[in-house]
Copies of this chain bind each other. A is one copy, B any other.
């Protein structure tokens, strides 16, 4: 356990003077690691040996060792845990929490995702005659993003966030076409229909969705991303970031499969943007 947490947890075991020391340390931990035992003792208005005893009570070898542990706690604190945003949080607090819980979500997704399925999805995508990305609501922007990526590969790509268009597109799909359905919950009725229609027309359907959901059952291949979502906010946040990263992975797999010759192509696409941009001073031509 982290020293800082340890201090908080064992406050009850401390004596009066030790508590004074704890308070000073918790109030300015960053200062503490750069202070001598004498300075800290003075700040807490106790004697030096009291500080030393305080350190020992926390199972450290002494004051310098304690500072080491404290420094480590401060370096990363609780690395990437899913901390929920609370009513009273100020900007620093909620910013940190959202970054951290997003990272925690990615970390979790990384361990849960099935590499094998990813590989098969890449297989299917590289051989596709046409690729369609469908999503609704929050997942629509993920579908758009996917389109923006795969479009660069010079493959026919479509993306619809309109049920009617999706439906028409699905009905027109044929063998060799790949339909990617994106939905965090996997319970959106309309999207399940789309998946079902596409399959009936012999398209391969990849679901970026929850394993064991109605949508998953309609798909040929399911890419599941078990992400713990903070439902307090009533908005999909971390889950959608994980979906995007998954798209990045599929796109990367795609380019790698196609080989280096193909990557020249990507460079061309990127270079084509130059005309629409202001040049960087240090990057003429």
Binding site for B on A (CB under 8 A): 33-34, 64-65, 67-69, 71-76, 79-80, 85, 87, 89, 91-92, 94-96, 98-100, 102-103, 106-107, 109-110, 113, 115-116, 118-119, 122, 137-138, 140-142, 144-145, 148-149, 152, 185, 187-190, 192, 214, 233-235, 237, 240-241, 244-245, 248-249, 251-253, 255-256, 260, 263, 266-267, 269-270, 273, 276-280
When all copies of this chain in the complex are counted, the total is 2
B144 engages A148 (CB within 8 Å): no
28 examples of A-B residue contacts, CB within 8 angstroms: A34-B65, A34-B68, A64-B67, A71-B71, A73-B75, A76-B76, A91-B122, A94-B256, A95-B113, A95-B115, A95-B249, A98-B248, A98-B249, A99-B106, A99-B249, A102-B106, A140-B148, A141-B144, A152-B234, A152-B235, A187-B278, A187-B280, A192-B278, A233-B255, A233-B266, A234-B270, A241-B241, A244-B244
Distance of A95 Cα from B256 Cα, bound (Å): 12
- How far is the CB of A165 from the nearest CB of chain B, in Å? 16
Q: Chain B contacts of A74 at CB under 8 A?
A: 72
A118 engages B95 (CB within 8 Å): yes
Chain B CB within 10 Å, residue with most, of A96, A99, A244? A99
Q: Chain B contacts of A116 at CB under 8 A?
A: 91
A235 engages B72 (CB within 8 Å): no
Q: Chain B contacts of A260 at CB under 8 A?
A: 87
Q: Chain B contacts of A273 at CB under 8 A?
A: 137
Distance of A34 Cα from B138 Cα, bound (Å): 45
- How far is the CB of A69 from the nearest CB of chain B, in Å? 8
Distance of A89 Cα from B115 Cα, bound (Å): 13
